[in-house]
Amino acid sequence: MNLIGNVVGGSVGEHIVIRLKSDSKVDVGDIIKINSGNDDYFGKITNVKIFSSVPEQFIHEIAGQKLEHGYENHLFDREDRFFRIAEAKVLKIMRKNVGFVPPRSIPEYFSQVNVIDSSDFSFMQNNGRIPIGFLRLGTKEMDTFIVKLKGEELISHHILVVATTGKGKSNFAKVFIRGLMMEPNSSAVVFDPHAEYYGEKNIKGLRDHPKKSKVLYFTPRTAEFPGSESLVIHADELNPSDFMGVVNFSDAQVEAMDALYKRAGRKWLAYLINTDMSEIEKSLDSKVMKATIASLKRKVCYAMELEDEREGLVFTTRESINNMSMFKKVINAVMNSKIIIVDTSIIGGESEKLISGAITRRIYNFYRKAKQQNPDYFKQLPETMVLFEEAPRVLGKEALAGGSNVFEKIAREGRKFKVGLCAITQMPHLIPKEILSQMNTKIILGLPSSADRTAVIESAPQNINDESREIQMLDRGEAIITSAFTDFPMPVKIFNFSTILEQDNEQMKEQKTFIVGME
Amino acid sequence: MEYNSLIEFISKNKEHKDIPCLEIKEFLQNTSKSNIYAVDGGNAVIIDGGTWIISKVRTAVVLYNKNRVNESHTSYIVANTENAVKSEPEEEIALPKKIEISEIPNHFRKIMEVEECIKSVEKAEKDDIVLCDFLFIPDNVVIALKINELIKKAEKKGVVVVGIGKTSRANIKGNSLIGFLNSMNQNKKSLWYSILEPASNYTDLVAKLYPLSKYTYRINTNSKDIENTLGILSYYSSDTAIPGYPYPLIRADWLARITDNEKHLEKTEIGKNKDYRKLSMDERSMDFHERLDEHAHK
């Protein structure tokens, strides 16, 4: 333990004021312990500021003497008169012979304040299963204390990962998925718009992990990735509701889609795209105008990226014959607790939304049906996480203005069906408050924008008002995790994915060597 | 009379005075850090009953050498029109023949200050400096005797005692002495002093202790090496936050000062005494100004 100061003020529910010792090294985010009578207070530094008993105008004059006249500053008892004040929030109180109690009291004046070290973490419960990083004290990571998140409950109660560019959103996601790969009964579907999760030539990804057999990769670039599955969606697997929330349709166009679906069933899209418009108009008893059909066709083709109106990178109007549908493959993989990565890196925006929405809807409906029709079977199904980047594209106020979509539905009621979201974004303020507050775990990496910080802080499951400054200053890989499943906001240094990947591979090699040796 | 004419009146009268030229000498700062004891006192009337008074008096000593040492002593005094008694240890206070009851706490504080200086001289070693927050010019016989004792004891031990007057009404033919000296050295960025009167047991002088300071102080000292002593004082007056005044005395002032908060706490404590109620009626004879202050628009 390292004495850093004395308590000189504060109030319950706000913060404790600490006069810092002149030679103490204290950072925002440091965890402290204050002994006061029978209580040990555990807290976190939320702010550090300079202070002086010398009135401000004199301080300005002191600076002026050096600047204007070249006189060196000479101050008696400098450390008594010019010092630092820290503010800390109380996290927990350990009461002698009682145990942990909520922070409803405050330490005495002049109680000693210490920065805790690795030998003093008994107060932190660490009963999670998915390791994501080291506990962080300010800028120092404690490599003896690994922060683990609960897997199952955490997933179905949704996760929001927020950070500005370069702060480590994707690294966190990879670390978290790597943790899920170790779990026997967890599954994830990852929509990968930057082709960074599976791994490429010079980028390490989940395919390089010893448990890579758990990963199923769907990509339009199968030639580049031997063993991967082709990302092909046949038009006859889509129905009108797959397009809702993806493309902005007029009421007439929606009615036209319904009429087409009634008329041609599963082949409604092929019929719309490949049939002469006059014939369609006629077949629909002229209830739909030709112009409506034309614009519907244009919008649908655009969303499916059908270049020659028959084949696109992913979508095709060819009939699915013997091949097992991509959707079925995904559902099978989910049932078998696999990690499914869908490569959307070479696909355009609307098409990507169509793919992710269609896949997610099928998973969600599968779980809902299972719960309704076979509750025992439902209980055995793994918890499934749907991970997607640039979350406002599907959960943003603008995206939802045209109507609800499957992502919003999952956000609101997915926990009942063991399906959860892991939404990644740089701009959480674009997501409605009600949805943000459904995200019961928030992984907050650096957020310089005050609008984004406010959105996250206001919707956090714990009071993190005091952490605003820290959130602003977080460096790459540093995070605050606020969750309904942790006792307080946890400061974490997220593992570097490449490093733990190497460690996992080393460990696997050692295990193999040991087994060979045994033989 | 308007402000302008008031200022004109003062300025005209100054011009006609014939002021003798005083010799001004420069000196250098001396960074040899001698032990320096700084003594100051503070007092506050806790309750004023008109014909009686309860007051709190505190003296503080700060020793500056390698390690700073603080010490303070607190006494309470109870005085009426006839006599005055101090606490811890309880004994009667010697009073001059003519003294107002309201002046008794100040008088006793001065005694305590001089006594604290004497104690510091007793603790000090040869060439140490005992810095007092008063000039050696006594108000009355009681204090004159104490100051005399202080200077004699210091002389005997080879200790330098220095008394500083923060304010002075000393004048030459009606002109402020320090004001005049300051005007002569307006643009000088040097350390200087001017001896007013070499008395038999101490020297009376005026000195500026920091080049950029706007203040000059009247100083009394028994030092035989005035420039060396002033050089050391100058070092201790070089604190950039309050330049020109010895920092150890500022520290002693902080310790000795009786704050309004402390005064109120003391008053509350006394008020808890059940016998106090009978006496509290007397307070009405003196506290109406306070009542007015409480109602005043601030």
Residues A86-109: pLDDT tens digits?
999 998 898 998 888 888 899 999
One domain, residues A21 and A168: no
pLDDT tops 80 at residue B3? no
Q: Could you give the CA distance from residue A111 to residue A8 in angstroms, rounded to a whole number?
A: 8
Q: Measured between beta carbons, which residues in chain B are less than 8 angstroms from residue A81? A: 241
Read off the pLDDT of each residue in B46-71 and give the average, rounded to a whole number: 83
Question: Looking at beta carbons, which residues of chain A come within 8 Å of B212?
Answer: 65, 69, 71
Say whether both A482 and A469 belong to one domain: yes
What are the φ and ψ backbone dihedral angles of A113, each rounded to 5 degrees?
A: -115, 130
Q: Is residue A465 part of a domain?
A: yes
**Residue A138 belongs to some domain of the structure:** no
Handedness of CA A503, A505, A511, A516 (dihedral sign): negative
pLDDT tens for residues A24-43? 999 888 889 999 999 999 99
Of the pLDDT bands very low, low, confident and very high (cuts 50, 70, 90), residue B33 is low
Task: Give the percent of chain A with pLDDT over 90.
Answer: 48
Cα separation of A396 and A390, whole Å?
9
pLDDT attached to residue A125: 56
Determine contact: A74 vs chain B, CB below 8 A: yes
| Cα–Cα nearest to A234, from A306, A320, A312, A299 | A320
Are A407 and A360 part of one and the same domain?
yes
B145 vs B81 pLDDT, higher one: B145
Instruction: Look at residue B18 in the predicted model and tell me its pLDDT.
Output: 54
**Distance between A5 CA and the closest CA of chain B, angstroms:** 20
Same domain flag for A221 and A84: no
Same domain, A109 and A221: no
Residue A10 has pLDDT above 90, yes or no: yes
Of the pLDDT bands very low, low, confident and very high (cuts 50, 70, 90), residue A17 is very high
Instruction: Tell me which of A271, A304, A337 is where a domain ends.
Output: A304
- For residue A334, the model assigns a pLDDT of 94
User: How high is the pLDDT of residue B46?
Assistant: 87
Contacts of A59 in chain B (CB under 8 A): 241
Nearest CA in chain B to A82: B241
Q: How many helices (H) and strands (E) does chain B have?
A: 9, 13
Cβ burial, residue B11 (10 Å; 0-12/13-18/19+): exposed
Say if CB A313 and CB A218 are below 8 A apart: no
Residue A222 lies in a domain: yes
- Whether A65 maps to a domain, the answer reads yes
Starting at the edge strand found earlier in the chain, the sheet holding B217-221 runs B25-26, B192-198, B203-208, B217-221, B160-165, B129-132, B36-48, B52-64, B69-80, B84-86, B91-92
Alpha-carbon distance A57 to nearest alpha carbon in chain B (angstroms): 10
Query: What confidence category does residue B151 fall into, taking pLDDT thresholds of 50, 70 and 90?
Result: very high
Q: Which residue has the higher pLDDT, B171 or A301?
A: A301
Is some CB atom of chain B closer than 8 A to the CB atom of A71? Answer: yes
User: What's the domain range around A280?
Assistant: 236-304
Query: How confident is the model at residue A519, as a pLDDT?
Result: 55
- Residue of chain B whose Cα is closest to the Cα of A73: B240
- Under a CB-based contact definition with an 8 Å cutoff, are residues B97 and B47 in contact? no
Per the model's pLDDT, the better-predicted residue between A283 and B77 turns out to be A283
pLDDT band at A309 (very low <50, low <70, confident <90, very high): low
* Alpha carbon of A17: minimum distance to chain B alpha carbons (Å): 21
- The percent of residues above 70 in pLDDT, for chain B, comes to 81
Q: Which of A5-9, A240-244, A399-403 has the highest mean pLDDT?
A: A5-9
Catalogue the long-range contacts made by B172-177 (C-beta closer than 8 Å, 24 or more residues apart). Answer: B172/B17, B172/B19, B172/B20, B173/B17, B173/B18, B173/B19, B174/B13, B174/B17, B175/B14, B175/B17, B175/B19, B177/B206, B177/B218
Cα distances from B126 to residues A35, B68, B221, in angstroms, run 46, 19, 15
Q: Does A49 touch chain B (CB under 8 A)?
A: no
With a CB cutoff of 8 Å and minimum separation 6, the contacts of A224 are: none
Q: Are residues A208 and A192 in the same domain?
A: yes
Say if A104 is an interface residue toward chain B (CB within 8 Å).
Answer: no
* Contacts with A62 from chain B: Cβ below 8 Å: 240-241
Helices (H), A336-421: 349-373, 375-380, 392-395, 397-401, 406-413
Range among A44-53, A73-82, B136-145 with highest mean pLDDT value: A44-53
Q: Tell whether the model's pLDDT for residue B16 goes beyond 50.
A: no
Average pLDDT of span A42-48: 91
CA distance B92 to chain A (A): 39
Q: CB of A273 within 8 Å of any CB in chain B? A: no
Q: Which residues of chain B does A74 touch, with a Cβ-Cβ cutoff of 8 Å?
A: 238-240
Handedness of CA A41, A42, A47, A48 (dihedral sign): positive
Pick the range with the lowest mean pLDDT from A20-29, A376-385, B23-32, B162-171: B162-171
Domains of chain B: 21-295 (3.30.2170)
For residue range A332-377, what is the model confidence (pLDDT) as tens digits? 999 999 999 999 998 887 889 999 999 999 999 999 999 999 999 9
- The first and second tokens of residue A320, run together, are 């699915």
Asked if A74 and A208 sit in the same domain, the reply is: no
pLDDT of A410: 93
CB of A75 within 8 Å of a chain B CB? The answer is: yes
Indicate if A351 and A240 belong to the same structural domain.
no
Residue A490 — very low, low, confident or very high, per pLDDT cuts 50/70/90?
Answer: confident
Smallest Cβ–Cβ distance between B239 and the set A59, A69, A74 belongs to A74
Residues A224 and A361 in one domain: yes
Task: Respond yes or no on whether the N-terminal peptide bond of residue B89 is cis (omega within 30° of 0).
Answer: yes
CATH number of the domain within which A184 lies: 3.40.50.300
Cβ–Cβ gap A76/B212 under 8 Å = no
Per the structure, how many domains does chain A have? Answer: 3
Last residue of a domain, one of A273, A304, A335: A304
Q: Which residues of chain B neighbour A77 with C-beta distances below 8 Å? A: 68, 247, 251
B14: confidence class by pLDDT, cuts 50, 70, 90? low
Residue A2 confidence class, pLDDT cut points 50, 70, 90:
confident
Q: Give the confidence band of B165 by pLDDT, cuts at 50, 70, 90.
A: confident
A260 assigned to some structural domain? yes
Q: Is the pLDDT of residue B120 over 60?
A: yes
- Is it the case that residue A124 has pLDDT exceeding 70? no
Compute the distance between CA of residue A213 and CA of residue A15 in angstroms, rounded to an integer. Answer: 50
Mean of the per-residue pLDDT values of chain A: 88
Count Cα neighbours of A83 within 13 Å in the Cβ-side half-sphere. Answer: 19
- B244 — alpha (psi -120 to 50), left (phi > 0) or beta? left
Q: How far apart are CA B255 and CA B253, in angstroms?
A: 5
Length of chain A, in residues: 519
Is A516 inside any structural domain?
Answer: no
Point out the domain boundary residue: A85, A120, A155.
Answer: A120
pLDDT surpassing 50 at residue A423 = yes
Cross-strand pairs, A87: A17, A47
Out of A7-16, B199-208, B248-257, which region has the weakest mean confidence (pLDDT)?
A: B199-208
Question: Is residue B11 classed as helix, strand or coil in its secondary structure?
Answer: helix
Higher pLDDT, B7 or B31: B31
Q: Is residue A397 in a domain?
A: yes
What is the pLDDT confidence band of residue B155, given thresholds at 50, 70 and 90?
very high
List pLDDT tens digits, range B184-195: 666 666 898 988
Helix (H, G, I), strand (E, B) or coil at B145: helix
**A261 and A404 together in one domain:** no
Q: Compute the distance between CA of residue B270 and CA of residue B15 in angstroms, rounded to an integer.
A: 55
**Residue-wise pLDDT tens digits, A196-205:** 999 988 888 9
Q: Are residues A339 and A266 in the same domain?
A: no
Residue A311 lies in a domain: no
Residue B172 banded pLDDT, cuts 50, 70, 90: low
The percentage of chain B sitting over the pLDDT mark of 90, rounded to a whole number, equals 30
Closest by Cβ to A69, choosing from B212, B242, B251: B212
Q: What is the DSSP string of A206-246?
A: GGGSTTGGGEEEEES-GGGSTTPEE--EEGGG--HHHHBTT
Say whether both A198 and A347 belong to one domain.
yes
Q: What is the pLDDT at residue A69?
A: 78
When pLDDT is cut at 50, 70 and 90, the band that residue A381 belongs to is very high
